[in-house]
Amino acid sequence: MDSISVLFLGELMLRLSPENGKRLLQFPTLEVSFGGAEANSAVLLSRLGCRTEFISAFPGNEFGEAALRELRANNVGTRFCLKKDGRMGIYFLEKGGDQRPSKVIYDRENSSASKITPGDFNWPEIFRESGAGWLYVTGITPAISSSAKETVFSALEAAKKAGLKILIDLNFRKKLWNYGEKASQVMPRIASYGDILIANEEDIQKSLGITTDRTGEVSSNLDETGYVELIKKTREQYPGAELIAITLRESFSADRNRWSAVVSAGKELIVSRKHVMEDITDRIGAGDAFGAALLYAYCTMDDIKEIVEFSVAAAVLKHSVWGDFPLISLEEIKALAKGNESGRVQR
């Protein structure tokens, strides 16, 4: 296959979390790592053999340098990253257990990444130097500040003019839209640029204003027909998208979930098989793994059913890995996609 080259525009944050089973501030120590939706997807695509470049801004201090080293250690390029006044964005994660849900607290106001502006990046030059065929953005970056939102629009417009394909993961984050605009005012226009659109039911309802009577906040036994109806309505609104994917998470408890997806490819509509996860290690980054795997599979596979099952398998495997980054391999994803769910020791 030809090399897949992808640019990611987003923010990498410090992640602080207590050990599993412990609550924030219950003990005096927190585990430190890095994470963020776009970086998570970039790491997996790099592990799948793709060329990736991260585009963002970092503070010129030890935290910023450590974040850049972490990206490079995972074979994600950083040559288009800037040093900018501000601070390192942080998020705190308290992993849930049984009927207590996980909790995320953001501390990213005035981060360097939130201060990016359209004038910070020469997009035609970046596209030319990188040789990228794809731009990967999420609904998180336009939520963190008005200037970040305008930077996303400038990147999307330039990418379209340059002939790049665009993947957009809607990723609605209610806690982040604080600068005077709502997701529903911004995201429909952003979604119109997408060749691939990814969302869950809340993303579509809150960001695009598309609803049905059969989807919503449910704990288990999701009404699959409601999701089929939802994706058909989304297809009507965004007929130019080559793929539209809705991910389905059924949560029986914090540790036991069921995961699947519905994908629309032109007139084809595929519903994946459902995977049950009984003892989740870390669910953060599962949707990011799905997005990365979907892009990879779309570029390397012809059968839409195979594309969908591969992408869902990547998301499911991420639940078994601690931290934001999907530290999984192509072989592991292929094996699960083909039905190898035993978890037996590989010798």
> pLDDT grade, residue 341 (50/70/90)?
low
Assigned domain for 343 exists: no
pLDDT digits (tens, 9 = 90+) for 118-157: 999 999 999 999 999 999 999 999 999 999 999 999 999 9
Percent of the chain with pLDDT over 90: 85
Please report the pLDDT score of residue 212 as a whole number.
Answer: 83
Looking at the structure of the chain, the number of domains it has is 1
CATH of the domain at 252: 3.40.1190.20
For the chain, the distance separating the N- and C-terminal CA atoms, rounded to the nearest angstrom, is 29
Classify residue 254 by burial, with Cβ atoms within 10 Å: 0-12, 13-18, 19+.
middle
Q: Domain residues for 261?
A: 5-336
Contact in structure between 110 and 84 (CB atoms under 8 Å): no
Residue 219 sits at the vertex; the CA angle it makes with 216 and 221, to the nearest 5 degrees, is: 85
**What pLDDT, on the 0 to 100 scale, is given for residue 141?**
99
- Per-residue pLDDT for 269 more than 60? yes
Q: Is residue 320 part of a domain?
A: yes
65 in a domain, yes or no? yes
pLDDT at 74 over 50: yes
Q: What is the per-residue DSSP string for 131-196?
A: T-SEEEEESSHHHH-HHHHHHHHHHHHHHHHHT-EEEEE----GGG--SS--HHHHHHHHHTT-SE
d(CA 43, CA 73): 10
Q: pLDDT digits over 221-249, tens only? A: 556 788 889 999 999 999 999 999 999 99
Q: What pLDDT does residue 342 have?
A: 59
Rounded to the nearest 5 degrees, what angle is found at the Cα of 257, between the Cα atoms of 20 and 212?
Answer: 130
pLDDT tens across 153-197, in order? Answer: 999 999 999 999 999 999 999 999 999 999 999 999 999 999 999
Q: Give the predicted TM-score (pTM) of the model.
A: 0.95
Domain assignment present for 342: no
**What does the pLDDT look like over 288-307, one tens digit per residue?**
999 999 999 999 999 999 99
| pLDDT above 70 (res 217) | no
Q: Is residue 341 part of a domain?
A: no
Separation between Cα atoms, residue 55 and residue 81, nearest integer Å: 5
The span from the CA of 222 to the CA of 226, in Å, is 8
Residue 219's pLDDT is 43
Tell me the three state secondary structure of residue 106. Answer: strand
Q: How many CB atoms lie within 10 A of CB 334?
A: 15
Mean pLDDT of the chain: 94
For residue 347, tell me if it sits in a domain.
Answer: no
User: Do 193 and 163 contact (CB within 8 A), yes or no?
Assistant: no
Q: How far apart are CA 176 and CA 104, in angstroms?
A: 12
Q: Answer yes or no: is 327 within a domain.
A: yes
Residue 218 has pLDDT above 60, yes or no: no
